[in-house]
Amino acid sequence: MKIWIARHGQTKFNARHLMQGRTDEPLNETGIAQAKEARKKIGDIKFDAVYASPLKRAQVTGSIIGNVDPSELIIDDRLIEADFGKYELKNYYLLGLPMMSYWYIPELFPAPKTVETLSSLIERSHSFLKELEQKDYDNVLIACHGGIMRPLSGYLMDKPNGIYWRPKPKNCEIRVFESLDGKHKMLDDIF
């Protein structure tokens, strides 16, 4: 099975450098153009299934890149972005040391109060992928977010700590993995 993981296109909050977790903001014009360009880059791939986060920005991205009607998306709550708590919609550069330390080096620094922990992100993303690997798909697309994309990638890269945190995924970046008999390998990184 090939697993294609896409981060959503740009939103107005991404453009303003704000932490966007669970706020359900749609793609802006740039984000829609990014998704269309990503679809062109992958060519005529036909996906057996397209999974998406419950947030609009991921659903629209999944529909465009997956070349499917929005009604065909499989929405899974485990793919939602991290909960940033009191840091939601705060400027990246003005987060303060506790949040900045956690978000940039979560292996070393704990999540501040009100913020979803790294172990929670790992648990829900790995649970999703273990279930997905039981399906009989050739190609599957997952449209999600930068925060959850990191432990999804970590699982598929067999990282011992369960995450692939750096570099930060770009808007509409697509990471392509192969999953076969419990073995994984990264095939491509498209952006």
| H runs (alpha helix) in the chain | 12-15, 29-42, 56-66, 97-104, 118-132, 146-156
Cα gap 8→174, rounded to integer Å: 9
Residue 144: name the closest of 162, 121, 160, 161 by CA. Answer: 121
**Per-residue confidence band for 160, with pLDDT thresholds at 50, 70 and 90:** confident
The SS3 call for residue 162 is coil
Average pLDDT over the chain, rounded to an integer = 96
pLDDT for res 56: 98
pLDDT for res 25: 96
Q: Has residue 175 got a pLDDT over 90?
A: yes
Amino acid at 154: G
Q: pLDDT digit string (tens) for 84-114?
A: 999 999 999 999 999 999 999 999 999 999 9
Q: What's the CATH fold of domain 2-190?
A: Rossmann fold (3.40.50)
User: What's the whole-model pTM score?
Assistant: 0.95
Residue 128: name the closest of 83, 169, 162, 103 by CA. Answer: 162
Tokens 């392509």 locate to: 176
**Per-residue confidence band for 118, with pLDDT thresholds at 50, 70 and 90:** very high
Tokens 């990638």 locate to: 153
Q: Has residue 31 got a pLDDT over 90?
A: yes
The SS3 call for residue 117 is coil
